[in-house]
Amino acid sequence: MKPVIVVHGGAGAILQKYAEGYRSGVKRAALRGYDILRQGGDAITAVEEAVVVLEDDPHFNAGHGSVLNEEGEVEMDAIIMDGKDLSSGAVSAVRCIANPIKLARLVMEKTDHMLLTGNGAALFAKSQGIPEIPGEKLISERSRERWKKNLLSSSTQKGFGTVGAVAVDSQGNVASATSTGGITNKMVGRVGDTACIGSGGYADNNSGAVSTTGHGESIMKVTLARLILHYMEQGMSVEEAADAGLNYMKTRVDDSGGVIVVNSAGEWTAKFSTNQMSWAAIKDDNLNCGIYLGENEIIPISENL
Amino acid sequence: MKPVIVVHGGAGAILQKYAEGYRSGVKRAALRGYDILRQGGDAITAVEEAVVVLEDDPHFNAGHGSVLNEEGEVEMDAIIMDGKDLSSGAVSAVRCIANPIKLARLVMEKTDHMLLTGNGAALFAKSQGIPEIPGEKLISERSRERWKKNLLSSSTQKGFGTVGAVAVDSQGNVASATSTGGITNKMVGRVGDTACIGSGGYADNNSGAVSTTGHGESIMKVTLARLILHYMEQGMSVEEAADAGLNYMKTRVDDSGGVIVVNSAGEWTAKFSTNQMSWAAIKDDNLNCGIYLGENEIIPISENL
């Protein structure tokens, strides 16, 4: 079985001056995940490590670079899921850690639970030796500027985005990981789709893996990740199911978003109904990448490594 | 359209000495919800008020009577959803309020968000004038005894349970509400299925409404509420879909649970794969009620009001 990884850096409007940063970020994340898969690593580790690359890159709304809540603080959500046995771990409204996706994986592997929130998640992080960092360290200049602008203007910029990865490994196991800082100027304690299994992500070897991005509340209303896998269970291809899921969200709750999908046969897609979504995918040693509708740059990965 | 309400008081082992308390609690909750529906009230208010009755009754693991976490404190989750427009509100890991389901409804109606957690939820509760009560007031003697026993023994009693209600009103709108104290001796900050849309509950006028109960982590793995509605969308009856959902959970993650379901035509069911589940339902002025497998006591409600 040939391994595949697909990553996204969030759906929504991407300013041209940042486009190259987004492009290079999603490429690096995909290469990181693919490297793990090519060495025989498992899908769950590949998606975790790919998301860590995106959390560490301040271009993206996750980890360092997360948007700020109404109090000017960073609160993050993340989820990871293993399609082998439907096990999953998630955290919500966590502060002062560099990589929420790593904490989500520890919830999955070291506890009897699947979702830890706020102070409880912080206590658990401490017990696992995850260093607490100053909240300031997660804040990029751009996040702070956007937050200030929203405080001053009556019409808030609905800045959002998420990062995510899905993969299938050489054993045919699928996995999904999603991480986010949420919505700009959100209320303290607001949790979005990312922490909610079936909304921000889902993975099942019997069908495939999905990671979603967009306005969290709309994604939750239609439990978008699980919905797309239901469509695949009913016989749709990954492309048809992704389109059907996004169309359903448009029809039922009048909103747009983006998704990446892979099935256990290694078929994949990256689809969005927003204007842009940064994404990258690697299969058969070819890296595919795009931001704008219809864009698909294809590069043999020998040129990238 | 004749209104219908179904409520549950949690799946799991019910000791005989408490059986009458459970029975009378679910009856009172169903009657409260039905009274609202009969006067032309909407489904969302009926499920909210039915759940308030169960939260206030110390027999049930929600509100007063919630199980305690590893620190001996009460942390509660709740969700409410309106099938008319898929709007929903939820809270997770909230403390020191009497009725989490009321706070969930305020999240739905007064914010742009769908899920508030921990301290953020507490700040919002305060802003809405919801009184903070001492955490002690939520603790029943039985909850404290069970917590102590678990601290002392190596084999923890897996006490869990949830309360919930689903309804269809005279306009054909469906709604769902679920509330819980979670799992006995859970980690601080543990959030279960109840706060996660599609797992603990879901409502959609196009199909129906579901509230689930059982081991939260297993319910989350299969997003049980949404799964049952998918089955109904594919043509199954409410009974078939409830059975198929519980069977799927048994097959995929080897666990049991309980569900209540109603569709917009007013067909309803209460099903469980655990030994017991307390439930009550009212349709056509007849109250149905049971705890044990196959039990269905039917009483004209004139005798109850």
Q: pLDDT (tens digit, 9 = 90+) per residue, A24-59? A: 999 999 999 999 999 999 999 999 999 999 999 999
The CA distance from B195 to the nearest CA of chain A, in Å, is: 8
d(CA A75, CA B123): 15
Nearest to B196 by CA among B163, B227, B220: B220
C-alpha pair distances (Å), A89 with each of A80, A175, A181, A215: 6, 12, 17, 22
C-alpha pair distances (Å), A75 with each of A179, A214, A269: 11, 17, 30
C-alpha pair distances (Å), B232 with each of A155, B218, B229: 41, 21, 5
d(CA B201, CA B43): 14
β partners of residue B166 = B6, B176
CB contact under 8 A, B199 and A197: yes
d(CA A271, CA A6): 11
pLDDT tier, B156 (very low <50, low <70, confident <90, very high otherwise): low
Name the least confident of A7-21, B66-80, B150-164, B178-192: B150-164
CB contact under 8 A, A86 and B252: yes
- Cβ neighbours of residue B303 under 8 Å, at least 6 residues apart? none
Asked if residue B193 belongs to a known ligand binding site, the reply is yes
Q: Give the pLDDT score at A107.
A: 98
CB contact under 8 A, A120 and B93: yes
Q: Is the pTM of this model over 0.95?
A: yes
Low-confidence ranges of chain A (pLDDT < 70): 154-160, 303-305
Nearest to A79 by CA among A208, A225, A221: A225
Q: Is A76 helix (H, G, I), strand (E, B) or coil?
A: strand
- Residue A298 phi, psi dihedral angles, 5° rounding: -120, 125
Per-residue pLDDT, averaged over B22-29, amounts to 97
Nearest to A194 by CA among A22, A6, A66: A66
- Residues of chain B that touch chain A, judged by Cβ-Cβ distance less than 8 Å: 75, 86-88, 92-93, 111-121, 123-124, 186-192, 195-199, 202, 216-217, 220-223, 226-227, 230, 234, 252-253
Among candidates A117, A191, A199 on the partner chain, residue whose Cβ is nearest the Cβ of B189: A117
The CA distance from A189 to the nearest CA of chain B, in Å, is: 4
d(CA A221, CA A283): 32
Classify the phi-psi angles of B88: left when phi > 0, otherwise alpha if psi is within -120 to 50, otherwise beta.
beta
The CA distance from B100 to the nearest CA of chain A, in Å, is: 15
pLDDT tier, B148 (very low <50, low <70, confident <90, very high otherwise): confident
- Residue A108 phi, psi dihedral angles, 5° rounding: -65, -45
- Residue A54 phi, psi dihedral angles, 5° rounding: -75, -35
Q: Give the pLDDT score at A183.
A: 93
Structural domains for chain A: 4-303 (3.60.20.30)
pLDDT tier, B3 (very low <50, low <70, confident <90, very high otherwise): very high
Classify the phi-psi angles of B293: left when phi > 0, otherwise alpha if psi is within -120 to 50, otherwise beta.
beta
β partners of residue B299 = B287
List binding-site positions of A for substrate. 190-193, 213-216
The interface predicted TM-score (ipTM) is 0.96
Q: Give the pLDDT score at A155.
A: 52
- Convert the pLDDT of each residue in A120-164 to its tens digit: 999 999 999 999 999 999 999 888 888 888 887 755 556 568 999
Q: Which two tokens stand for residue B181?
A: 């104290």
Nearest to B177 by CA among B3, B56, B47, B55: B47
Per-residue pLDDT, averaged over B157-172, amounts to 87
Asked if residue B201 belongs to a known ligand binding site, the reply is no
d(CA B98, CA B89): 17
Supply the DSSP symbol for B186: P
Among candidates B123, B192, B221 on the partner chain, residue whose Cβ is nearest the Cβ of A188: B123
The residue type found at A33 is: G
CB contact under 8 A, B217 and A118: no
Q: Which two tokens stand for residue A295?
A: 């864009």
Among candidates B92, B196, B202 on the partner chain, residue whose Cβ is nearest the Cβ of A197: B196
- Residue B278 phi, psi dihedral angles, 5° rounding: -85, 135
Residue pointed to by tokens 């008020």: B49
Asked if residue B213 belongs to a known ligand binding site, the reply is yes
Nearest CA in chain B to A221: B86
C-alpha pair distances (Å), A176 with each of A244, A283, B11: 20, 17, 31
CA-based angle B15:B18:B19, to the nearest 5?
A: 85
Asked if residue B118 belongs to a known ligand binding site, the reply is no
Per-residue pLDDT, averaged over B110-119, amounts to 98
Give first-to-last CA distance, chain A, whole Å: 22
The CA distance from A87 to the nearest CA of chain B, in Å, is: 7
pLDDT tier, B155 (very low <50, low <70, confident <90, very high otherwise): low
d(CA A213, CA A33): 19
